[in-house]
Structure 1
Amino acid sequence: MTDATALVVDDEPDIRELLDITLTRMNIRCVTAANLKEARDLLAAQPFQLCLTDMNLPDGNGIDLVQWMQKAHPETPVAVITAYGSMDTAVLALKAGAFDFVSKPVELGRLRELVENALRLTTPASGAAASDNDSDGLLLGESLEINQLRKQVRKVARSQAPVYISGESGSGKELVARMIHMQGPRRDGPFVPVNCGAIPSELMESEFFGHKKGSFTGATENKTGLFRAAQGGTLFLDEVADLPVSMQVKLLRAIQEKAVRAVGDHLEQAIDVRILSATHKDLPHLVKEGSFRQDLFYRINVIELKVPPLRAREDDIPLLTRHILAKLAQDYESPQAQLSAAGLDKLKSYSFPGNVRELENILERAFTLCDGDIIDADDLQLAANEEGSGGHSTTPDGRIDLENFLERIEREAIEKALEATGGNKTAAAKRLGISFRAMRYRLKKLGME
């Protein structure tokens, strides 16, 4: 940080002096300006690694400077100093492109965290470029839609603004969240994903905020909670629409105050966490219905990223297919299967209501059940009426759980075959009339390995 220079813009000499002293103690050279004109002149004259600006200036406001810097100096992160409790102003600044915000009176600990995060943007990790190119298979594809999404991810990764990721089930929303985390200044901190719909409502407050030992029946030890587990990193709230209204209120307060209080505790603890959220549901519609709080939606939806469905990027299907089949061959320690031209055509004509996740399931099933190493159209087992159906499937009337019923029959047949062959999987597969690879697939699917 010794080579870093920061620009502080504030019309109050006391604030400029306070920030100058704080930054100097962090070995950061500080240059100050009292108004927008001075700030613009200084930015034009020399490079800065960070800019801190007050909201109220004699010749304009901080948002004016943020918007100007987005055009003239987009590589310089700019943070806004807002009045205490003015979250609406802070949100407007983030929407305009501010890296982050800090409220008056300025807490020096919070300011240091902000500065350290901002300066990490100018010193990218060695793996950052690889992340941009999806070397780990994140957001695989070369379609126009995916390339555009990658550009948006790189841009929002530079901010600390909350991001709302919308898209259909299985389209890759968590992968987008992971990319934002990996390409941002918090990449060395934890990435904590949580499925909001999977937590029982009575345990939700404890899971998010933690609890003190003895605070309720069953609390036999202290619990950290998801917010504090994500300290210095990113908390990804998947299926955020499933949060009950009572929890929405508490989540809103935690985001606004940047602090949480564990169940049974009397003290709040400050948190430094970036919030990313996602759902496949129509959140604006839920806001209109009244089942999701408008003020919380406003806070988490500072920036929105839309993940395209697989059917909107048909050109990516061949690349995705090769990648998935290569991974399956590695997982099953088998030769890699190839998809026939007819099989590829059939996939391209399919609507994929379950998106990339469904493609993975289709190919895994076909890989394990096909006789050779060529997967043909029939091996994909796509019903004719499913192709181009727009993803709407019908379910039988009544309360018959057909999938569980069939799984139970399959499990019993496999158990009997294994028992009859003394646990020999190869012999059991022959007894059932299926290949050894198909046997391994079924054992894995049924959790019988």
Structure 2
Amino acid sequence: MSTQHVLIVDDEPDIRELLEITLGRMGLETHAAGDLREAGNLLRDARFDLCLTDLRLPDGSGIQLVDYIQQHHPELPVAVISAHGTMETAIAALKAGAFDFVAKPVDLERLRALVGSALKLNQENSPQQPDRRRQPLLGNSPAMQGIRDTVAKLARSQAPIYIHGESGTGKELIARQIHDQGPRRTAPFVPVNCGAIPPELMESEFFGHIKGSFTGATVDRPGLFQTAHGGTLFLDEVADLPLAMQVKLLRAIQERRIRPVGANQETPVDVRILSATHKNLADEVAANRFRQDLYFRLNVIELQAPPLRERIEDLPLLATHLLERIASRWGHPSLRLADGALHALEQYPFPGNVRELENILERAATLCEGQTLYARDLRLSPPNPAGNASTTSPPPLAVGEAALDTQLANQQREVIRRALEQTRWNKTQAAEVLGISFRQLRYRLKKLGIE
């Protein structure tokens, strides 16, 4: 294996020497620069596997160097080291694209762990490495292509990420992808539903406890932070954390240390924090139900998980994948959707998103006769695209799949035409009237042949 090269940028000779000795003992070759100009020259003349930069330099800021590296050497991880280790500084560095942030005085154990993780990036993402992703993010819609591109970038950072989205949109799957594509992929991914832990057990669940610390504590027990050490801790439904626990969680994230219940000493932990909720976390802060300082610490980078109704063109692929999974799980022959069933699904609003789609298909697979799922097997509630309750009974449907397909398409075409006429064929306004996205309306106009 060839020697890996690290660029150290710091104007203090003592710090440079400390870093060079520490990294040299790790078998790494180091190159030092005292300011931005010198660092820029080295970056132009040589290839590096990692950059460590001080925040304050004689001719500028370490964040300027992060920006430069992001533009000209995007594959190079860069970590910021600073004596001014405030939360705001760390967040600014991470938002600029820094791999991680280290405060002075430098904890050498923490530094070695950071360097090890950063140097794994190119190794883990090399073509020779096997693809260990558990489950792909399916879909060819622009929304899902954007999510996959963003996940690939976020996987190269250690920044905390807040994933926002409705229930059933796959927030945990996105978090797993970020973990599996990053340098922590060989370490544990530990998901926890914050709303499912009783408040009285929360501290013990997160931080662990020692034997005899409370009634029933008959053995030492590690918490979620210890279990996720070296890997990723995914806090699902983080908005459900009680305020008292939010304070303790904030300290654990900032200090990278936890104290098990009943212990006298703190334990260092190395975890990346990903969080998610279906609630609007900013609204929770405004209502004093969520601490603002914790919100800023978790929400360094926000990622929006799109609802299924905004990527309805992905539905055939998702349905096929889910039916294959259901058939495999049950040991059944392959299952398929009839055209009429697919058309019915495409008109359904899916308030429960992909999770609801899976439930609908599993129920239909139980009810259907044979290997083909028809619209009647889905048992969907009638769609109401215009958002208004109908005061008249719907016309009776003709019998048969072909007739049902035609009937459903005609009904959808009529609703869309009325919305277009109401808005004088302004498609953006028509989409708002129908309660769907502009992209979804454009997809349906093309599919239904409406000009």
Give the TM-score normalised by the residue count of structure 2.
0.83
Q: Please give the alpha-carbon distance, in whole angstroms, between the structure 2 residues aligned to 1:2 and 1:141.
A: 39
For the residue of structure 1 that corresponds to 2:176, the secondary structure is helix
TM-superposed deviation, 1:336: 1.6
For the residue of structure 2 that corresponds to 1:52, the secondary structure is strand
Q: Please give the alpha-carbon distance, in whole angstroms, between the structure 1 residues aligned to 2:370 and 2:215.
A: 57
Question: What amino acid is aligned across from residue 97 of structure 1 in structure 2?
Answer: G
For the residue of structure 2 that corresponds to 1:313, the secondary structure is helix
The residue correspondences of 1:3-402 to structure 2 (distance < 5 A) are 3-83=3-83, 85-124=85-124, 130=131, 136-384=134-382, 386-388=383-385
For the residue of structure 1 that corresponds to 2:334, the secondary structure is coil
Q: Please give the alpha-carbon distance, in whole angstroms, between the structure 1 residues aligned to 2:332 and 2:378.
A: 19
For the residue of structure 1 that corresponds to 2:124, the secondary structure is coil
TM-superposed deviation, 1:87: 2.1
Q: Please give the alpha-carbon distance, in whole angstroms, between the structure 2 residues aligned to 1:377 and 1:129.
A: 40
CA RMSD across the alignment = 1.6
Q: Residue deviations 1:212-245, cap 9 Å, x none? A: 1111111111111000100000000000000000
Q: Please give the alpha-carbon distance, in whole angstroms, between the structure 2 residues aligned to 1:234 and 1:329.
A: 32
Q: Please give the alpha-carbon distance, in whole angstroms, between the structure 2 residues aligned to 1:389 and 1:273.
A: 47
TM-superposed deviation, 1:337: 2.0
Measured at CA, do residues 387 and 367 of structure 1 come closer, stay the same or move farther in structure 2, by a change above 3 Å? Answer: farther
Identity fraction in percent:
60
- Whether the 8 Å CA contact 1:351–1:389 is kept in 2: the answer is no
Q: Please give the alpha-carbon distance, in whole angstroms, between the structure 2 residues aligned to 1:355 and 1:93.
A: 35
- Whether the 8 Å CA contact 2:239–2:277 is kept in 1: the answer is yes
Q: Please give the alpha-carbon distance, in whole angstroms, between the structure 2 residues aligned to 1:313 and 1:128.
A: 32
Q: Residue deviations 1:379-434, cap 9 Å, x none? A: 100011x45487x9xxxxxxxxxxxxxxxxxxxxxxxxxxxxxxxxxxxxxxxxxx
- Whether the 8 Å CA contact 1:128–1:183 is kept in 2: the answer is no
Aligned length: 387
Q: Please give the alpha-carbon distance, in whole angstroms, between the structure 2 residues aligned to 1:117 and 1:70.
A: 18
Q: Please give the alpha-carbon distance, in whole angstroms, between the structure 2 residues aligned to 1:272 and 1:248.
A: 19
- Whether the 8 Å CA contact 2:235–2:275 is kept in 1: the answer is yes
Q: Please give the alpha-carbon distance, in whole angstroms, between the structure 2 residues aligned to 1:103 and 1:28.
A: 22
- Whether the 8 Å CA contact 1:82–1:90 is kept in 2: the answer is no
Question: What amino acid is aligned across from residue 94 of structure 1 in structure 2?
Answer: L
Question: What amino acid is aligned across from residue 240 of structure 1 in structure 2?
Answer: V
- Whether the 8 Å CA contact 1:237–1:276 is kept in 2: the answer is yes
Question: What amino acid is aligned across from residue 161 of structure 2 in structure 1?
Answer: V
Q: Please give the alpha-carbon distance, in whole angstroms, between the structure 2 residues aligned to 1:137 and 1:186.
A: 17
Measured at CA, do residues 159 and 325 of structure 1 come closer, stay the same or move farther in structure 2, by a change above 3 Å? Answer: same
Question: What amino acid is aligned across from residue 23 of structure 1 in structure 2?
Answer: L
For the residue of structure 1 that corresponds to 2:122, the secondary structure is coil
Q: Please give the alpha-carbon distance, in whole angstroms, between the structure 2 residues aligned to 1:49 and 1:85.
A: 24
Q: Please give the alpha-carbon distance, in whole angstroms, between the structure 2 residues aligned to 1:178 and 1:76.
A: 23
- Whether the 8 Å CA contact 2:139–2:317 is kept in 1: the answer is yes
Runs of 4+ aligned residues of structure 1 deviating over 2 Å after TM superposition are 125-131, 386-390
For structure 2, the 5+ residue unaligned runs are 390-451
Q: Please give the alpha-carbon distance, in whole angstroms, between the structure 2 residues aligned to 1:39 and 1:370.
A: 67
- Whether the 8 Å CA contact 1:2–1:27 is kept in 2: the answer is no
Measured at CA, do residues 63 and 114 of structure 1 come closer, stay the same or move farther in structure 2, by a change above 3 Å? Answer: same
Question: What amino acid is aligned across from residue 101 of structure 2 in structure 1?
Answer: F
The residue correspondences of 1:419-434 to structure 2 (distance < 5 A) are none
Q: Please give the alpha-carbon distance, in whole angstroms, between the structure 1 residues aligned to 2:151 and 2:66.
A: 20
For the residue of structure 2 that corresponds to 1:235, the secondary structure is strand
Q: Please give the alpha-carbon distance, in whole angstroms, between the structure 1 residues aligned to 2:336 and 2:210.
A: 55
Question: What amino acid is aligned across from residue 293 of structure 1 in structure 2?
Answer: R
For the residue of structure 1 that corresponds to 2:123, the secondary structure is coil
For the residue of structure 1 that corresponds to 2:348, the secondary structure is coil
Q: Please give the alpha-carbon distance, in whole angstroms, between the structure 2 residues aligned to 1:195 and 1:248.
A: 14
Question: What amino acid is aligned across from residue 245 of structure 1 in structure 2?
Answer: L
Q: Please give the alpha-carbon distance, in whole angstroms, between the structure 2 residues aligned to 1:278 and 1:388.
A: 29
Q: Please give the alpha-carbon distance, in whole angstroms, between the structure 2 residues aligned to 1:358 and 1:286.
A: 26
- Whether the 8 Å CA contact 2:123–2:129 is kept in 1: the answer is no
Q: Please give the alpha-carbon distance, in whole angstroms, between the structure 2 residues aligned to 1:7 and 1:72.
A: 15
Q: Please give the alpha-carbon distance, in whole angstroms, between the structure 1 residues aligned to 2:259 and 2:337.
A: 54
Question: What amino acid is aligned across from residue 158 of structure 1 in structure 2?
Answer: R
- Whether the 8 Å CA contact 2:85–2:102 is kept in 1: the answer is no
Q: Please give the alpha-carbon distance, in whole angstroms, between the structure 2 residues aligned to 1:321 and 1:180.
A: 24
For the residue of structure 2 that corresponds to 1:48, the secondary structure is coil
